[in-house]
Amino acid sequence: MSPTSPTSPTSPQRPENPKSPTKATSPASESRRLLDGVDVILTDLDGVVYTGRNAVPHAVESLNQAAEHIRIGYITNNASRTAETVAAQLSGFGLTVSGDDVVTSPQAAIRLLVDLVPKGSSILVVGGDGLTSVVESAGFEVVRSADDKPAAVVQGFAPEVGWKDLAEASFALAEDIPWVATNQDWTIPQERGIAPGNGTLVSAVHTAVGKLPTVAGKPEKAIFDAAVERFGAKHPIFIGDRLDTDVVGANKAGIPSVLVLTGIDKAKQVLAAPEGSRPDFVLEDLRQLHEEYPATTESAGSQGARVFTVGASSVALRGNRVVIVEAGTSPTDLLRAGAAAVWGSGLMIWGLDVDSGLYEK
């Protein structure tokens, strides 16, 4: 990915061969609308559409506007609820959504499971109804004890999961059987703050058994492949709020990635993002889906400086210093220019002296 790709990618297109993803490698020559040429918007939920029981400001109206001419699919790593339950919540916010519009990590886990064990096998499930219902619908028998000699273990988050559930998974995995995790999200955004996610529970089992699961959800490709197949997407984009799962996963799948700053990751994380977790687009909120997306330009400054400009904002790279030349009127454009400068340096963030105005508000 080029240093300036987060702010100036080419038209969003999914490669025809998703196993050989290609990313934009040169800056666009002019501003354009982000949704031009997009046939399916795939979006995360937590931190993008809602946080806990509350809709994220501007998300619903922005997605409804997009849905007037583009198909929207919802992707969630949350394994505690069924697709129908998720759809009902989204509908309650004012979105038009059915269960078929929601792709869950348990659904992606089943895609993996059917290739690992025979249909009808006993599966030890660690998780809630969102996971058990999908396992049963796929023709497997749900068990809760290692004494039932399960053919595999599948693990997903649910608030009621406790030590006894993790212990049963550990006992079962003493045998050489497959272990599939719906996701490894370390945290979950909630109304009251950030809470531990499924990754912490998976890590507890990993510590006990000394091996790692096959992961179905973001950032792995299985859930993206399931979504692309479900919606027949040819030129999708993916919107998320996390670099480590949403952006990394979309990049792996060869889908243009959009980071919206309404959830987990903010300006400081964007600037520090290593290659592979850098988004193609950065938005303050989903209203910017419908705004002109400015190009990034690079020019030569004084004394060998490289100056990155987005809109009215300019940031210079002078040796190992990243400094604001012109803040402009848009904090988002300033961040985009700053990211282009940091990523264009070829240095890790700790090797740079970065102007605090790029990440402090």
For residue 158, the SS3 value is coil
Distance CA 228, CA 132 (A): 24
Q: Which residues are catalytic?
A: 44, 46
Distance CA 287, CA 330 (A): 14
Q: How many angstroms separate the first and last alpha carbons of the chain?
A: 28
- Cβ atoms of residues 11 and 281 within 8 Å: no
- CA distances 220 to 105, 109, 181, 248, 254, Å, are 10, 11, 11, 8, 12
The structure tokens listed for 52 are 């806990």
- Residue of 266, 216, 283, 255 whose CA lies nearest to 77: 216
Radius of gyration of the chain (CA): 21
**189 prior amide bond cis, ω within 30:** no
- Residue 178 exposure: Cα atoms within 13 Å on the Cβ side: 20
- Cβ atoms of residues 91 and 60 within 8 Å: no
Distance CA 50, CA 118 (A): 38
- Residue of 128, 123, 130 whose CA lies nearest to 103: 130
- CA distances 100 to 56, 111, 227, 233, Å, are 22, 16, 10, 15
